[in-house]
Amino acid sequence: MKIKNSANFDFRNYFVPQSGMLSSTFLAVLAFPLLVFMNENLQGTEPEIVIHWSSETVSGHPDILTDANGTALSAGGSGNGDGCLVTLGYFDQASAGNPFLGTWIPLTHGTRIGDSSSGYGFEDGMFSFTTVFTRLSDSVTVYPYRPASYSVTTPHTIEQNIPQANTPICIRFYDGTDTGLTARYNTVTGSGWVWPAFPSGQGVPSNLYLKVARGPTPSNSLWAYGDTFEDSDHNFSAAKTTEFDLAVSVSGGGSVTDVNGSYEYGTVIDLNASADDHMEFVGWLGDGVTDPTLPITTIAMNQDRNLTAVFQDKMYSVLVNPQGNGSVSGEGNYTFGTIVNLTATPSTGHSFSHWNGFGPDSNTSASTTLSVSQDHAIVGVFVAQSFDLNVTSQDPTAGQAEAEIGPYFYDGNYTINATPNPGYAFTHWTSSTNSLGMLESNSSQTTNLILTGDASFEAQFSLTTYELEVLMGTGGQSVSPSTGQQSS
């Protein structure tokens, strides 16, 4: 094993200075046997960037890091590795004007509040790290050449231009050991907190000193103070939660309560859709709605949501039914303002009377229109046609004939009757209107008929005749009248 030439290696590049000066600890380390530094990293040929990053480490300082309730972030038990997470990283679309734009890329996932180079740890709410990034490597050395040194892995290989030089560097701290959607966090940066360019060749590593502290950097300090927080309402506190965007739009005639915006993970949002006049709500398009068929429902914000409230023309029913013998048309489902043609067709022997119900332009015309404005129930009324029924006697002296009292309607069942005078007998019915087919019997004195049109019936009578037998006794010459048919 070999050690780098002392002309090219300076131990000061790997230790955190105190107030800009070398510490007594550092001087003591210089006396430590050089074999401590026989680390393979010293054999490397790739340039390095060394970033020292720290919080305030004075007990009781007002700028120690806290959770949303003001309690200092837990450093865990004694030693390193079990405190709240704190990571160095950057946003992939960050710029000087917006250092928090894009997706967060952690470069030291696994570093914790309370960690220290000795392994004995800091108090709650404190941390201090030295991290070494090597070009073309995804391994980051934490606390190089110190008793508590360990390595973490970056999500991508560190390259000459990844991250780009001058990309804003940030520190993100969490209120626990989980970075999931329920975790609270905050992110901080400061003036001059940018990723440096790699040095050329095997020169002295680029060193950056970042401290989470308020106010301008003291003139005698190497630290660059930073107090620009992503959640500027809660400086030095891990109070920010993961937020998701909700965008709600409308398709068709209606409106929704304005709930567009960003919401914390798990927030339940009330949705309320209202249809315009003569429109109806169809449903919600988009994932996550509790009941997408209801206009009033909820949605849980556990991801970005894009919803559309869909409305359509309300359909009104037009019911058209006949009353009596006939048929009607025009029934169906229609949108508001549709002009519907109504038609009534009477059956044989019947006629259209009128329309019952709200809406027809004319309630007496068999063909009319209706402008749909609501649900409609229309009835087309038909009535039987009326006819004349005349019943007479051939000879009033022979007898009388009559029908039951009218009026008389098509397909009505009526009775006619003939009554002969004494000495006469009914013989049959005749009809000048050729209506004998309506009679149940044309030879019955009393009969029924089914009326299908105007009808005239005449009762026919004849004299009643009797058989007279005349007998003549002995001695008579003649009698009168003789035996034969005689009328009364």
pLDDT tens, residue by residue, 367-408:
999 999 999 999 999 999 999 999 999 999 999 999 999 999
Specify the pLDDT at position 39: 39
322 neighbors 329 (Cβ within 8 angstroms): no
Specify the pLDDT at position 470: 63
Confidence of residue 484 (pLDDT cuts 50, 70, 90): low
Residue 15 has pLDDT above 60, yes or no: no
Is 437 in a helix, a strand, or coil?
Answer: helix
Is 456 in a helix, a strand, or coil?
Answer: strand
Specify the pLDDT at position 473: 66
Is 314 in a helix, a strand, or coil?
Answer: coil
Q: Is the dihedral of CA 21, 115, 14, 135 positive or negative?
A: negative
Tokens of residue 334, six digits:
């229609």
Which is higher by pLDDT, 470 or 243? 243
Q: Average pLDDT of 362-371?
A: 95
Confidence of residue 26 (pLDDT cuts 50, 70, 90): very low
Q: What is the pLDDT of residues 139-162, one digit of tens each?
A: 999 999 998 999 999 999 999 999
Q: What is the mean pLDDT of the chain?
A: 88
Specify the pLDDT at position 28: 36
Q: How far is CA 448 from CA 388, 404, 421, 444, in A?
A: 16, 10, 22, 9
Nearest alpha carbon to residue 348 among 366, 329, 326, 328: 326
Which is higher by pLDDT, 201 or 447? 447
Residue 436 has pLDDT above 70, yes or no: yes
Residue 2 has pLDDT above 60, yes or no: no
Beta strands in 227-285 (DSSP E): 228-229, 237-238, 240-241, 243-251, 254-256, 261-264, 267-275, 279-285
User: Alpha-carbon distance 418 to 403, whole Å?
Assistant: 9
Specify the pLDDT at position 340: 98
Burial class (CB in 10 A: 0-12, 13-18, 19+), 47: buried
For the chain, give percent helix, strand, coil, nearest 5: 5, 45, 50
Residue 27 has pLDDT above 90, yes or no: no
Specify the pLDDT at position 44: 54
- If phi > 0 it is left, if psi is from -120 to 50 it is alpha, else beta; for residue 480 that is beta
Domains of the chain, by residue range, sit at 11-241, 243-313, 315-384, 389-465
Specify the pLDDT at position 245: 97
Residue 4 has pLDDT above 80, yes or no: no
Q: Average pLDDT of 182-210?
A: 89
Percent of the chain with pLDDT over 70: 86
The letter for the amino acid at 126 is: M
Q: Average pLDDT of 308-330?
A: 98
Residue 106 has pLDDT above 80, yes or no: yes
User: Alpha-carbon distance 319 to 329, whole Å?
Assistant: 9
Specify the pLDDT at position 199: 84
Specify the pLDDT at position 466: 75
Residue 32 has pLDDT above 70, yes or no: no
Spatial strand order of the sheet with 424-430 comes to 389-393, 455-463, 424-430
Is 327 in a helix, a strand, or coil?
Answer: strand
Specify the pLDDT at position 488: 61
Q: Average pLDDT of 58-63?
A: 94
The widest CA-to-CA distance across the chain, in whole angstroms, is 198
Nearest alpha carbon to residue 5 among 39, 42, 58: 42
105 backbone dihedrals φ, ψ, rounded to 5°: -115, 105
